[in-house]
Amino acid sequence: MTSTRKIIHLDMDCFFAAVEMRDNPRLRDIPLAIGSDGKRGVVATCNYPARAFGVRSAMSSHEALKRCPQLTFVRGNMDKYQAVSKQIRQIFLRYTPLVEPLSLDEAYLDVSASPHFAGSATLIAEDIRRSVFAETGLTVSAGVAPNKFLAKIASDENKPDGLFVLTPAKVADFVAALPLRKIPGVGPKAAEKLARLGLQFCRDIVPPGGEVPLPLLSALLKEFGSQTASLLERCQGIDLREVQPSRERKSVAVERTLASDLHQLTDAQQMLQQLLPDLQRRLEQSGKAHLLAKIGVKLKFSDFRLTTVETQSQHLDPVLLNELLTQAWQRRADQGIRLLGLQLGFKTQCEEQLSLPFEVALTHPNEFNYSAACLPG
Q: What is the pTM of this model?
A: 0.71
Give kind and range of the element (H or E) at residue 8: strand 7-12
Domain boundary among 116, 142, 165: 165
In a domain, 374, yes or no: no
In a domain, 369, yes or no: no
Is residue 106 flagged as an active site residue? yes
> By residue range, what is the domain housing residue 285?
251-363
Q: Residue 188 belongs to a domain with what CATH number?
A: 1.10.150.20
**Is 156 assigned a ligand-binding role in the annotation?**
no
pLDDT at residue 42, as a whole number: 87
Q: What is the pLDDT of residues 326-366, one digit of tens each?
A: 999 999 888 899 999 999 999 865 444 333 332 222 233 33
Q: Residue 100 belongs to a domain with what CATH number?
A: 3.30.70.270
Which of 106, 223, 352, 367 is an active site residue? 106
In a domain, 135, yes or no: yes
DSSP 316-339: --HHHHHHHHHHHHTTSTT--EEE
**Is 11 assigned a ligand-binding role in the annotation?**
yes
Q: Are 248 and 348 in contact (CB under 8 A)?
A: yes
pLDDT at residue 37, as a whole number: 80
DSSP 266-328: HHHHHHHHHHHHHHHHHHHHHT-GGGEEEEEEEEEETT--EEEEEEE-SS--HHHHHHHHHHH
Q: How many residues are there in the chain?
A: 377
pLDDT at residue 286, as a whole number: 80
One domain for residues 317 and 202: no
Number of domains in the chain: 3
One domain for residues 183 and 278: no
pLDDT at residue 249, as a whole number: 72
How many CA atoms are closer than 13 Å to the CA of 191, on its beta-carbon side? Answer: 12
One domain for residues 112 and 203: no
CA-closest candidate to residue 28, choices 17, 15, 43, 13: 17
pLDDT at residue 251, as a whole number: 87
In a domain, 240, yes or no: no
Kindly give the interhelix angle for 15-23 and 78-92, rounded to the nearest 10 degrees. Answer: 100
Q: Are 40 and 64 in contact (CB under 8 A)?
A: no
pLDDT at residue 348, as a whole number: 65
pLDDT at residue 241, as a whole number: 93
Grouping H, G, I as helix, E, B as strand and the rest as coil, residue 44 is strand
State the Cα–Cα distance between residues 241 and 233, nearest whole angstrom. 12
pLDDT at residue 376, as a whole number: 30
State the Cα–Cα distance between residues 256 and 185, nearest whole angstrom. 27
State the Cα–Cα distance between residues 362 and 367, nearest whole angstrom. 11
DSSP symbol at 179: B
State the Cα–Cα distance between residues 372 and 375, nearest whole angstrom. 10
Q: Pick out the chain residues at pLDDT < 50.
A: 1-3, 350-377
pLDDT at residue 194, as a whole number: 95
pLDDT at residue 352, as a whole number: 42
In a domain, 189, yes or no: yes
One domain for residues 186 and 273: no
What is the separation of C-alpha 290 from the centre of its chain, rounded to a whole number of angstroms?
Answer: 26
DSSP symbol at 147: S
Q: How open is the CA angle 372-375-376, to the nearest 5 degrees? A: 145
Give kind and range of the element (H or E) at residue 21: helix 15-23
In a domain, 244, yes or no: no
Grouping H, G, I as helix, E, B as strand and the rest as coil, residue 132 is helix
One domain for residues 268 and 205: no
State the Cα–Cα distance between residues 281 and 287, nearest whole angstrom. 10
One domain for residues 273 and 300: yes
One domain for residues 339 and 210: no
Domain boundary among 134, 165, 196: 165
Contacts of 180-189 with CB under 8 Å at 24 or more apart are 180/204, 180/205, 180/235, 182/153, 182/156, 183/149, 183/153, 183/231, 183/234, 183/235, 184/149, 184/152, 185/227, 185/230, 186/231
